[in-house]
Structure 1
Amino acid sequence: MDSLTHIALGACIGEAFFEKGFGKKAMFWGALAQSIPDVDFISSTWLNTSEALLAHRGFTHSILFALIIIPIFALTADRIHRPHNIAFRTWILFFAAEVFVHLFIDGFNNYGVGWLEPFTHARYSFNTIYVADPFFSIWPGIAFFMLIILNAYSPKRTFWWKVGVIIPFIYLGYCTINKLKINHDVKEIFATQHIPHERYFTTPAPLQNWLWYVVAGNDNGYYVGFRSLFDRRKYINFQYFPRNDSLLKAVANHEDLQKLIRFSQQFYTIEKYSDTLVFNDLRFGQIIGWENPKERFVFHYYLQHPEDNKLVVQRGRFEKWDWQIVKGLLRRIEGN
């Protein structure tokens, strides 16, 4: 999830653990602990783009990192707040909840999380919720605001931390049901439309959980399309994108190429833009693809101009968006 959501959710969990006056201090510790796995963003200051892509949500999002950082936080908080009547076990449970909730919910996005680093470089992702979903984030955000302004001993604080913690996880469960429904539908569609594939994934289109982006294919290429939960026809208007591995002969020794292939989990295509080869990671979606099925992919990396690859994951996320595009997204969500 995005950083602001982690901060707000962490603060609400802190309030839930301690309440009764200590809650606002716990909110600070909760926000800090919930954010600590994202300390890996610092690595982008010395790593090149392809290395930073693999570093993000890597070791600092691993179970091993959690087991190291949790007692460090617990010992620090226990010492800073002496004298107190909080058992050390409570500190451990509190920081464990914060850190593991971060690792858990990040796994529901499409970036992939290295839970078992450094023992394996496998990335785990459920592709269930968009990385910035306002329907998930608004509840901890509102609760965080209310907990900040309420008196430390207000009886209303219990209600608000429940809003900030329970409702987002109910929504996450709803998103999981949506995911199962979409996967069931697309498997039927693959069969009826004769879509050849060795691998596939479904993930939400931006900012909601009703329109889903679908990619299926093999080493030759991928079929890309969108399906709404409200579509009445069991049909997807797929566009085919060849993988074009043959184009990679010109850059076979490129230092970033193997890192990008590993990062993409094989969901990639190669294109030529003007004078450079472009590596597309299909997992991050297509720029307004529900409007223009042949649009570029959000993640496109210039293999022969690496200096132009800053913020590569974010480059096209909301490119070309305007009010007409938003209305088109809403219409597509309504179904066809």
Structure 2
Amino acid sequence: MLVSVIASRAAGGRKPVRKHFEQYYYLSLIGVLSHVFLDLFTPYGVGVLAPIDYRYYSFASVYYLDPVIALVLFTGFMVSRRKRKYAKKALIAALVICLVYLGGRTAARQAAFSFARGKLDNFIVKSISPMPLSLWQWWYVARLADGSKRTGVLDLLAGNSYEAASYPPDARSPLAAVARRTELARGFLHLFPDAHVVASKDDVGRTVVTFRALSYSFQNESKFTVMVYLNSSGKVVGRKAVF
């Protein structure tokens, strides 16, 4: 709304012009809605129903920096700028290509789920996420009945799966339970339900309960983590998040 008012003033003089306001208002609305729509296809997801429902929804079919979508939209924009005669057709074509691509990626993710269930015997596949700069590789998080987890790569083109790391069952100590109840940890687990939880001691004797998002562990083991520090009496004395 504010952007529309500012833009309409710039286009229509000192007083807002209704015609200009409506144009910029709808343009801003399309920008916001398209941003939310595209976020639905990233592993992060988006809370589309907030504040009624704060859960994050996601198709997790494209990486949040997807070169194909960026290239298609940029090409459509450049054609529309240089060839005014074909501007509308170029932009519509770019949007259609992006929608078809998103649909194809969503179907490919479902194929990756089926492929993982066939390859990972005795494992329950918890999540499938797109790998950056790859059209056929997917990152998986799977769990055994005892709570242990495994991460790895599914290569649909080669028809193989590769294990990256294995994790023991999550820490279930009383201090880990206290850490889970902190607002930071609850929010993190809400966003990353496949997170691995481990408890350890630091140099000064505090218990450190670390929550690590396994769906992003292919990037860097130290990223996408939350650490809750507790003293010997079980009191939370510190929190830290790394993204």
- Band of TM-score, shorter chain: 0.7 to 0.9
CA drift at 1:123: 1.0
TM-score by length of structure 1 reads: 0.55
2:238 and 2:157 mapped to 1: Cα distance?
41
Equivalent residue of 1:120, what SS? coil
Distance 1:247 1:226, change over 3 A: farther
- Alignment of 1:205 onto 2:138: no
The aligned length equals: 224
- Alignment of 1:252 onto 2:178: yes
Return the match for 1:121 from 54, 68, 77: 54
CA contact (8 A) 1:189 1:236 kept: no
Gapped runs of 5+ residues in structure 2?
203-207, 230-236
Relative contact order (alpha carbons < 8 A, sep ≥ 6): 1 or 2 greater? Answer: 1
State the match for 1:135 in structure 2.
68
CA contact (8 A) 1:286 1:297 kept: no
Structure with the larger strand share: 2
CA drift at 1:79: 6.2
State the match for 2:122 in structure 1.
194
Equivalent residue of 1:223, what SS? strand
Equivalent residue runs for 1:113-192 within 5 Å: 113-147=46-80, 150=82, 154-162=84-92, 164-190=94-120
* One-letter identity of the residue aligned with 1:157: A
CA drift at 1:167: 2.6
2:85 and 2:66 mapped to 1: Cα distance?
30
Structure with the larger helix share: 1
CA drift at 1:210: 1.3
Equivalent residue of 1:180, what SS? helix
State the match for 1:16 in structure 2.
none
* One-letter identity of the residue aligned with 2:37: F
CA contact (8 A) 1:221 1:269 kept: no
Gapped runs of 5+ residues in structure 1?
1-68, 289-295, 314-336
Return the match for 2:197 from 259, 270, 290: 270
1:247 and 1:283 mapped to 2: Cα distance?
24
CA drift at 1:285: 3.5
Distance 1:133 1:274, change over 3 A: farther
Distance 1:92 1:250, change over 3 A: closer
State the match for 2:227 in structure 1.
302
* One-letter identity of the residue aligned with 1:261: L
Distance 1:306 1:133, change over 3 A: farther
Could you report, residue by residue, the CA deviation over 1:278-321 in whole angstroms, capped at 9, with x for unpaired residues?
Answer: 22012223237xxxxxxx36422333396764xx22xxxxxxxx
What percent identity do the matched residue pairs reach?
19
> How big is the alpha-carbon RMSD for the aligned residues of Structure 1 and Structure 2?
3.5
Deviates more, 1:252-261 or 1:132-141: 252-261
* One-letter identity of the residue aligned with 1:210: W
TM-score by length of structure 2 reads: 0.73
1:237 and 1:181 mapped to 2: Cα distance?
19
Return the match for 2:141 from 215, 232, 254: 215
